[in-house]
Amino acid sequence: MQETREQKKKRMVQAADALIEAMLDWDAEHATPNLTQIEDEVLTLRQQFGQALMGVVVGGQMAVQPATGVKCPHCGEEARFKGQKHKDVESRTGGLDIVRGYYYCARCRSGFFPPGQAT
């Protein structure tokens, strides 16, 4: 199922809002931080926001995958769609937990995530 632009935006705004709250909490708890401490906190939150944006957009790309016509990377046999599964992916914005289509080849008796545009 694919999210609409508005649904994606809502999730991004929620992520931004949570991070802004975290920044304000941190600010309230640190009366006299030095520049390096502020910088560390901002960089951590920026990293988390990047991951949140990646999660929403990559998830949207994955939802576009076809359910049929996926070939096994080992033997070329047509593989069966087995549903959506979580997968950990490393990106330049940090680790991502994405949900994408998982397929199974009966001949090789193995499952796999077919390569997608976003990976």
Binding residues for Zn ion, per CB under 5 A? 72, 74-75, 77, 105, 107-108
Q: Considering beta carbons, is residue 74 or 85 the nearer one to Zn ion?
A: 74
| Phi, psi torsion values for 24, nearest 5 degrees | -70, -35
- By beta-carbon proximity to Zn ion, the closer residue of 92 and 109 is 109
Return d(Cα 108, Cα 73) in angstroms, integer. 10
C-beta of 76 vs 95, nearer to Zn ion: 76
Q: Which is nearer to Zn ion, 80 or 87 (CB)?
A: 80
Under DSSP, is residue 57 helix (H, G, I), strand (E, B) or coil? helix
Q: How far is the CB of 105 from Zn ion (least distance, A)?
A: 3
49 neighbors 19 (Cβ within 8 angstroms): yes
Shortest Cβ 66–Zn ion spacing (Å): 17
Bridge-partner residues for 87, per DSSP?
98
118, 107 Cβ separation under 8 angstroms:
no
Q: Backbone phi, then psi, for 77, in 5-degree steps?
A: -65, 150
- Find the shortest distance in angstroms from Cβ 69 to Zn ion: 15
Q: Kindly state the smallest distance separating residue 67's Cβ from Zn ion, in Å.
A: 18
